[in-house]
Amino acid sequence: MYRIKSIKLYFLSVLKLFLVTFKNYYFKSKFYNKKLVTYIPSRIFYSPSSFLCDSLTTSSNDFYKITNISPELLWKTKTKDRLKFDNLHNFLWLTKLDRKHSKIFAKNIVNSWINNFSNYDPDTWKMETTAKRIIAWTSNFDIVLQDSDKEYKEKFLLSLIKQSNFLLKNIKSVPHESNKIICCAATILSGIIFNENDTNYKIGIKELEKIVKNYFDGSGFPKSRNPEEVFICAKYLILIREWFKEAQKFIPDFLDEIILKIGNCYAFLSCSNKQFPLFNGATEINYKYYDIFLKNLKYKFHNNDYEIANIIKIKKKKFEFFIDCGNPPSDKFLKHYQAGCLSFELISNKQ
């Protein structure tokens, strides 16, 4: 019996490897990249505020010392740090550039990226990275598109359409729900910016509603039980809502409801040291500046409960104590899960 299971697992692994290889080959083909070009937009109907996009990153404008290196050399930079590579190619650092003196540089670097990566590339076209790049480019129209010549403008808009169509065609295959929310955000935004992309807008909202229904429990806590997922999901859900407000679009009721619930979870997890508890796969995140962002947008979340999603919080004077008393999540949500039941964290005098 054990041998049969091993043989089955082996053939499934081979099949999966074949499908991944075939998929990458197909995505790199000229035929597929031509299919991504559906039209060139005639005009832009909405330009998102760069202030909203600024909430997605804490990287400074010298993150890669990018102003001191030519764009062509920048793409040849080798790094073993996958996070740094993704941060370079998602362009969220554009919001940190000086708005008055960086227009020429910003256009040159975007133009260089398009020249080098206009067609699918498995490293630079990862779904989450592509989604963030769409958000970054469209939130910085003032420095990457304004006062540009016709040739560059057409190339830029064409690249945006290709990337947004790529997200639309593959959004259902994104395996992790928090990443899928990021992809939904970019898909919805592309549908608001270009009237011809109305399908993106409708499908993006439909997929987002499915995620909200299936990924969050009754209290609004992600079923992965990872505190970091609360932070990520809250950022992008609030961002989508602010885009709707700016573009004067109808805000769906489910979006208001989940933001209120996840906001309560955000407040519950908040600590005196401005970091979320480091268990169940969470990494070290300081939300000090995001609190300022929420305050500027007049979001106020309060929660004095001692328990949410079987995570218990005890606070007394300078002491804060968290303990996970719940069961592990289902296999579907186990990507980052660590430690487990009865893992705890003690904070004393912000340490």
Q: Are 95 and 140 in contact (CB under 8 A)?
A: yes
* pLDDT tens for each residue of 83-113: 788 888 999 999 888 888 888 888 999 999 9
Rg of the Cα trace of the chain?
Answer: 22
Q: Which residue in 212, 220, 171, 226 sits closest to 336, CA to CA?
A: 226
User: What span, in angstroms and rounded, lies between the C-alpha atoms of 336 and 4?
Assistant: 30
Does residue 159 carry a pLDDT above 50? yes
* pLDDT tens for each residue of 178-192: 999 999 999 999 999
329: phi then psi, degrees, rounded to nearest 5 = -70, 170
Mean pLDDT of the region 167-179: 91
User: What span, in angstroms and rounded, lies between the C-alpha atoms of 275 and 241?
Assistant: 25
| Helical spans, DSSP H, in 29-148 | 30-35, 50-53, 71-75, 82-90, 103-117, 127-138, 141-144
Q: Are 125 and 90 in contact (CB under 8 A)?
A: no
Residue 255 pLDDT: 97
Match 């994104």 to its residue by tokens.
174
Expressed in angstroms, the distance from the first to the final Cα of the chain is 52
Match 């003032």 to its residue by tokens.
142
